[in-house]
Structure 1
Amino acid sequence: MWIVAGWVLVLLLLAMWSGLVWAGEALLAAALSKAGTLSTGDWSLPEALTAWLPVPVAEWLAGTLETLTPQLQALVGTLPWLSGGVTVLAWVVWSLGALLLLGVGVAVHVAVALWRKSARSSLPPSVTVLR
């Protein structure tokens, strides 16, 4: 019974893991597919951030952002193309997690089997175990 309970728990965790990876893949693919729509004018510091930062730091960040605008725009232009790789990445991440959960299931199975064997061997020989 404990072995079945362990495998049911592993299967429930695998279902939750699958849902989490699927949702993360969908959100990331949607975000990357829309990322190419940013225009050059969108690259500025938020006013809430500039009000919170000291003036020299805010000016330095604004200057750095202005300097890096062409590189950032080129990167954003490639993001929709990269959204196709999200599915491959999701499958790799899911596979690693599934293998880890499978390993946990095997470990629980072996641990319960060894526990049963040690409990059976610790009984006196005159006692019979009914199943």
Structure 2
Amino acid sequence: MGLAEGFQWLNGSFTENIELSEQRAPRDIDVVTFTFEGDEFYDGLQPDQLRLLGATREDQSFIKNQFKVDFYVQSLTDAPERLVEMASYWYSMWSHRRSKQWKGFLRVDLAPRQDQEALAMLKARKQELAHE
């Protein structure tokens, strides 16, 4: 789709070792994409591409059901007050477990220049796991 500038915040029960603590697999992943893309980018997308960005509640339900992802996009070109408001919202939602215990979430850079290095690291780790 071309979202290559910005970053994502990733969260979900996988960040809490839910497999060990509750002996179950994660049910979904939560993703907020922070991007500098503006109206020109969105105006150039096809309807099926726009749907994958979760523009409406119906689109968000589709993404959740189809891919097991709670997905949101936040423009970094919004007014500073809006950015602070939304960052505060996500932090308040994601910084604690339901038990009130503190927890973290992940930040992933969207820069494609790091893709090859990340892929090499994943392949190396996969080989390590295969030999354990």
Same fold (TM over 0.5): no
Query: Which structure has greater strand proportion?
Result: 2
Q: If the length of structure 2 is used for normalisation, what is the TM-score? A: 0.23
Query: Which structure has greater helix proportion?
Result: 1
- Largest Rg, 1 or 2: 1
